[in-house]
Structures are given as C-alpha cells and as structure tokens.
C-alpha cells in the first residue's frame, strides 16, 4: 500500500525527477544546472547568506549531491547534515583533482608547443596528432584559440610546404579567431 501512496505523492509533486551525473571536476557544472532546474541550488550557494534556508529544499539538494557522488566520497560527505557543508567538503576533496587536471593541461600544452611535422608525416597525419592533443585539452575544460592553432600548424610544417605557408601568412589574417 505504501508503494502506491509514494507514486501518488510523486505525481502531485511539481518538481521534475532528474538523474544527477556522477560528480567529477567536469560534471560539477552539470550538477549546478540540474539543481538549479530543481530549484534547490540557492540553498547550496545562497545569493544572500543571511536568508533563512528552507529545510525541505536543503534536504532535496543534499539528496542530489549524494546521488551525484561516488561511493568513495559518500562516506566523507555523509557526516554533513546540510547541502552547503556537503558541497564545500566535495569542493575541498576535488581541489586535488583540479590540480592534477591543471598539470595534465600544462603537459599537453608543452607537448603541443614541441610538436613538429616530420618529413615522413602527411598533412592529415600531422593534423590528427594536433587534433588529438587539442581534443584532450578541450576534454579537460581548457581552451586554445583557433588563431594559435593555425600559427602552430604553420610553424610546424616542413620545408616542402614553405610556399604554401608563406602564401597563407602573407594573405591570411592569422590573428582572426574565426580562422
């Protein structure tokens, strides 16, 4: 009998049921969006810290946070009784992950800077190497300007492409981000 009353209560609720993504440094943004959609983000990071927190909204936000964290993190966060404390705890725990991500991005940028086209490389092969590094950097939520990439590819080209590179540099606007 309790199963049907729960279904009826769920139907009466005006909130949309969402499945929250597992939290990591990339998905924290999605968690915020989902909790905003549920109308509970304001209890996690209130605009006015002096404003009284609705306990029901706070518990809904806490449930969302618990749903979005891995089992290993759950034990550390389970001691927190309000969503703001749980979110702060998670932010502190993932700072180390952010530092690892930043170091990885730095390594990839150095790899990109040092990348040179070999005489045996085709243009497509070299472009795939560059694209692979750029995709990984973008996957780590970092950006590289298109104008930088164009300049990088032109600088890294072998001597057999010298005339093409010279023509592009002479007639193209390499500082335009719409390249």
Question: What is the chain's alpha carbon radius of gyration, rounded to the nearest angstrom?
Answer: 24
pLDDT tens-digit readout, 22-31:
555 556 777 8
pLDDT tens-digit readout, 141-152:
788 888 888 888
**Distance from C-alpha of 125 to C-alpha of 36, rounded to nearest angstrom:** 44
Domain residue spans of the chain: 10-96
**Distance from C-alpha of 142 to C-alpha of 136, rounded to nearest angstrom:** 9
pLDDT tens-digit readout, 100-113:
888 889 999 999 99
């Amino acid at each position: 009998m309790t199963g049907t009353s729960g279904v009826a209560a769920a139907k009466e609720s005006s909130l949309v049921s969402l499945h929250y993504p597992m939290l990591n440094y990339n998905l924290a943004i999605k968690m915020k969006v989902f909790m905003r959609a549920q109308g509970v983000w304001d209890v996690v990071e209130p605009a006015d810290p002096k404003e009284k927190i609705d306990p029901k909204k706070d518990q809904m936000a806490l449930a969302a946070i618990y749903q979005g964290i891995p089992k290993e993190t759950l034990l550390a966060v389970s001691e927190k009784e309000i969503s703001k404390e749980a979110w702060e705890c998670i932010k502190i725990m993932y700072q180390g992950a952010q530092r690892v991500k930043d170091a990885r991005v730095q390594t990839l940028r150095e790899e990109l800077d040092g990348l040179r086209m070999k005489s045996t490389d085709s243009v497509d092969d070299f472009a795939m190497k560059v694209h692979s590094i750029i995709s990984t950097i973008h996957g780590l939520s970092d950006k590289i300007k298109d104008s930088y990439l164009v300049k990088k590819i032109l600088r890294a080209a072998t001597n057999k492409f010298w005339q093409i590179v010279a023509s592009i540099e002479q007639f193209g606007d390499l500082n335009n981000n719409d390249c």
